[in-house]
Structure 1
Amino acid sequence: MYLEYLMLFNLFSGIIVFCSTFKHLLLSLLSLEYMALTVFLFLFLVMLNYGMEFYFILLFLVFTVCEGALGLSILVTLVRTQGNDYLSSISVLMW
């Protein structure tokens, strides 16, 4: 019972950090990865308790890794073109 509350607390703390970081792209990406890890652990515990197969968790991990790779590629492109990772320097007209 307490473990579910701890997972929900971790998820909501990740959401709060994601909503409050509006300066650097790297902090936003790290909070997204933290939330994905929390959801992964929650899914693992739920499927372990109910005796389900773990194929869905593997699929979830594949999509999480793809999301992380896309975020890092955007970060590298932004640093190469702008010289920093400030979100305020991103303009829609430049893309």
Structure 2
Amino acid sequence: MLMIMLFFSILMYFMGLISFCMKRKYFLLMLLSLEFIILSLFMNLFIYLSVYGYEYYLSMIFITMSVCEGALGLSILVSMIRSHGNDYFQLFNLLW
């Protein structure tokens, strides 16, 4: 059972990574694929902590930091939509 969960979490990680690399047109899709990667890493961390019998305190810190990352990404998305009118990532030029 443990190996199946580990396989699915690694598969989730690579699916999120492939989605992040392929869907670079919209900023919202990039944020969603990053959150999917974070969830798969959280699942890997949870499996690791449960196998070795450690406490789950580190997982709570990890999920707190990932929530902060998600809130920061959404705030960047809102400011980008307010300034540019859409969330096309190629339209947003960082060199101007």
Matches within 5 A, 1:32-71: 32-71=34-73
Shift of 1:34: 0.6
Show the counterpart of 1:8.
10
RMSD: 0.9
CA distance in 2, matches of 1:88, 1:8: 30
Aligned residues: 94
- Superposed structure 1 runs of 4+ greater than 4 Å apart: none
Matches within 5 A, 1:20-35: 20-35=22-37
Specify which structure has the higher proportion of helix.
Answer: 1
3-state SS in 2 of match to 1:53: coil
Q: Unpaired runs of 5+ in structure 1?
A: none
Shift of 1:42: 1.4
Query: TM-score, structure 1 length as denominator?
Result: 0.93
Show the counterpart of 1:17.
19
Shift of 1:16: 0.2
Identity of aligned residues (%): 44
Query: TM-score, structure 2 length as denominator?
Result: 0.93
Q: Residue deviations 1:29-84, cap 9 Å, x none?
A: 00000110111111111111211011110110111011001100000000001110
CA distance in 1, matches of 2:43, 2:9: 8
